[in-house]
């Protein structure tokens, strides 16, 4: 069976790890950087999903926004057309203006066209392309094994470029697409090779032509010391692909299936594990990277939803040349005392030497944060999400447009079906 979206178990693992507080700090980390209380930011909810009288609006946006000529495009995992495969709706592609005017580009029908898109869209010629975590013609997975789709920005000419079979070619492409010339690259969470702890397969890295032809598996993860279950989009740096796996790598008392890895895959399919996380009782390293990577200043930056000094997640940096890793910030969470975030599951963005990201938990109200962090590790909260009509639980990375950051929340908004927000740090 193929599972859909970031598993609840992943977050539970992070919560369980919270009980293991204290202990010696991870050797490369150095002294913890100070938490900074920032001044008020300009914040606004632009749109609340599901509040229109029409019941076919999208709900539950899990992906970052994608900008084309001043308009933002995104996906919702649910909402739209209700069908046998998706009683809460099969998902949508939507557009929204910077002023908050929203419309639906495409509603998935719940069959071979795909179900439950959860990743950022990309531009493919004059069209949009993306992935769905389920649906499609593959029969090895209950509800379909996922698809790669294309649709024009006006909603016309929607078609499936590739449907995963759930076997050696992978299943459940939770991550988005990476475009490089005429090729598309991506990952699947499951399928490929069954390995250590991977009953549904440990996941794959794949490529295919932009017309959907010549799908090729570059690497099948094996679990164990190799990674297992990549969840997010690949990063192309000079022709090499960099990413993370949620599991695999080093097994510890706190990571029974491995704490996760940072890996590189080249175009010829050769793979190298750059770093294996090693979160343990006396090692406050990072653990369980659910997000992709950002390349800046010759280094790879990312987040993990667990690990660190409090077990609540981290921001880390890895040198791709040496494989050396350092935890920049350990999230300490919650309430009025600190207002720090917890459980980041999205990748970072950078502007002016400062990184910005989201946490799905923590903050002043426990509903998530937008945070910023300097290269030195000094971190502060830009916005703490609150009760309705504010959004809550941002699972996606931010989109930088000018001096403003745009993002989505999976929950919250006026009727708790998710939101699009804007914040000026």
Tokens encoding 178? 């990476």
Buried b or exposed e, range 60-81, using 16+ CB within 10 angstroms: bbbbbbbeeeeebbbbbbbbbb
Q: Is the pLDDT of residue 384 over 90?
A: yes
C-alpha to C-alpha distance for 254 and 276, rounded to whole angstroms: 14
* 276 band by pLDDT with thresholds 50, 70 and 90: very high
Please give the pLDDT value at position 83.
83
Q: Is the pLDDT of residue 24 over 50?
A: no
Angle subtended at Cα 289 by Cα 328 and Cα 307, rounded to the nearest 5 degrees: 55
- Reported as type and span, the H/E element at residue 205 is strand 204-209
Query: Do 372 and 355 form a contact (C-beta atoms < 8 A)?
Result: yes
Please give the pLDDT value at position 337.
67
Summary mean pLDDT of the chain: 90
What mean pLDDT comes out for the span 274-287? 96
Tokens encoding 302? 């990312």
Please give the pLDDT value at position 55.
62
C-alpha to C-alpha distance for 328 and 104, rounded to whole angstroms: 39
Task: Indicate the Cα dihedral angle 379, 382, 385, 391, nearest 10°.
Answer: -120
Quickly count: other Cβ atoms within 10 Å of residue 102's Cβ.
18
Burial (Cβ within 10 Å: 0-12, 13-18, ≥19) of residue 103: exposed
Containing structural domain, residue 369: 19-48+331-425
- Reported as type and span, the H/E element at residue 66 is strand 66-68
What mean pLDDT comes out for the span 79-89? 87
Query: Do 141 and 163 form a contact (C-beta atoms < 8 A)?
Result: no
Q: Is the pLDDT of residue 15 over 60?
A: no
Please give the pLDDT value at position 208.
97
pLDDT (tens digit per residue) in 308-324: 999 999 999 999 999 99
Asked whether residue 106 is assigned to any structural domain, the reply reads no
Asked whether residue 351 is assigned to any structural domain, the reply reads yes
Q: Is the pLDDT of residue 10 over 60?
A: no
Asked whether residue 408 is assigned to any structural domain, the reply reads yes
Please give the pLDDT value at position 175.
98
Please give the pLDDT value at position 85.
76
Q: Is the pLDDT of residue 240 over 90?
A: yes
Task: Decide: pTM greater than 0.95.
Answer: no
Phi then psi dihedrals of residue 78, to 5 deg: -130, -175
* 334 band by pLDDT with thresholds 50, 70 and 90: confident
Asked whether residue 203 is assigned to any structural domain, the reply reads no
Asked whether residue 409 is assigned to any structural domain, the reply reads yes
Q: Is the pLDDT of residue 38 over 80?
A: no
More confident of the two residues 52 and 402 = 402
Please give the pLDDT value at position 25.
32
Q: Is the pLDDT of residue 335 over 80?
A: no
Asked whether residue 44 is assigned to any structural domain, the reply reads yes
Q: Is the pLDDT of residue 263 over 80?
A: yes
Report H helices in 301-343: 335-338
What mean pLDDT comes out for the span 243-270? 97
Give the CA distances from residue 407 to residues 18, 69, 357, 398, 419, in Å, rounded to whole numbers and listed in that order. Answer: 27, 17, 10, 5, 8
C-alpha to C-alpha distance for 102 and 54, rounded to whole angstroms: 13
Asked whether residue 122 is assigned to any structural domain, the reply reads no
Phi then psi dihedrals of residue 193, to 5 deg: -115, 135
Please give the pLDDT value at position 336.
63
What mean pLDDT comes out for the span 394-405? 97
pLDDT (tens digit per residue) in 186-230: 999 999 988 777 889 999 999 999 999 999 999 999 999 999 999
Please give the pLDDT value at position 194.
85
Asked whether residue 340 is assigned to any structural domain, the reply reads yes
* 425 band by pLDDT with thresholds 50, 70 and 90: confident
Q: Is the pLDDT of residue 35 over 80?
A: no
For the chain, the domain total comes to 1
Residues 6 or more apart whose CB falls under 8 angstroms from that of 317 comprise: 299, 300, 301, 302, 325, 326, 328
Give the CA distances from residue 236 to residues 64, 186, 242, 281, in Å, rounded to whole numbers and listed in that order. Answer: 18, 11, 6, 35
Tokens encoding 238? 């000079």
Sign for the CA dihedral angle at 425, 288, 261, 77 comes to negative
What mean pLDDT comes out for the span 314-339? 91
Please give the pLDDT value at position 199.
85
Residue from 420, 410, 366, 425 nearest 46 by CA: 420
Q: Is 295 helix (H, G, I), strand (E, B) or coil?
A: strand
Please give the pLDDT value at position 17.
35
């Amino acid at each position: 069976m193929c599972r859909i979206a970031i598993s609840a178990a992943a977050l539970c693992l992070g919560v369980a790890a919270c009980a293991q507080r204290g202990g010696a700090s991870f050797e490369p980390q150095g002294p913890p950087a100070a938490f900074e209380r920032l001044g008020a930011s300009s914040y606004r909810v632009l749109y609340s999903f599901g509040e229109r009288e029409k019941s076919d609006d999208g709900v539950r946006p899990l992906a970052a926004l994608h900008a084309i000529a001043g308009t933002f495009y995104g996906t919702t995992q649910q909402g739209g057309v209700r069908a046998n495969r998706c009683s809460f709706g099969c998902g949508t592609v939507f557009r929204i203006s910077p002023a908050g005017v929203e419309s639906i580009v495409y509603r998935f029908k719940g069959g071979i066209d795909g179900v439950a898109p959860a990743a950022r869209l990309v531009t493919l010629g004059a069209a949009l392309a993306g992935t769905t975590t389920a649906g499609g013609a593959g029969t090895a997975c209950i509800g379909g094994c996922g698809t790669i789709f294309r649709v024009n920005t006006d909603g016309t000419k929607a078609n499936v470029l590739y449907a995963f079979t759930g076997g050696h070619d992978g299943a459940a492409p939770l991550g988005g697409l990476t475009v490089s010339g005429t090729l598309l690259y991506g990952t699947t969470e499951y399928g490929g090779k069954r390995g250590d702890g991977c009953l549904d397969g440990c996941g794959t890295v794949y490529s295919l032509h932009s017309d959907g032809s010549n799908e090729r598996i570059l690497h099948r993860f094996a679990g164990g010391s190799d990674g297992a279950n990549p969840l997010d989009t690949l990063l192309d740096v000079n022709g090499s692909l960099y990413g993370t796996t949620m599991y695999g790598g080093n097994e510890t008392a706190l990571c029974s299936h491995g704490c996760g890895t940072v890996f590189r895959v080249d175009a010829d399919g050769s793979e190298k594990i750059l770093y294996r996380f090693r979160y343990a009782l006396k090692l406050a390293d990072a653990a369980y990277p659910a997000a992709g990577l950002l390349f800046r200043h010759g280094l790879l930056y990312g987040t993990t939803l667990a690990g660190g000094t409090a077990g609540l997640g981290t921001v880390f940096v890895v040198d791709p040349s040496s494989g050396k890793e350092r935890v920049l910030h350990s999230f300490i969470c919650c309430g009025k005392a600190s207002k720090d975030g917890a459980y980041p599951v999205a990748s970072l963005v950078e502007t002016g030497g400062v990184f910005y990201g989201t946490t799905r938990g923590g903050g002043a109200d426990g509903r998530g944060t937008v945070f910023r962090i300097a290269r030195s590790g000094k971190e502060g909260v830009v916005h703490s999400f609150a009760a309705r009509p504010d959004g809550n639980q941002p699972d996606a990375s931010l989109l930088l447009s000018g001096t403003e950051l745009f993002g989505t929340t999976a929950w919250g908004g006026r009727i708790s079906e998710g939101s699009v927000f804007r914040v000026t740090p």
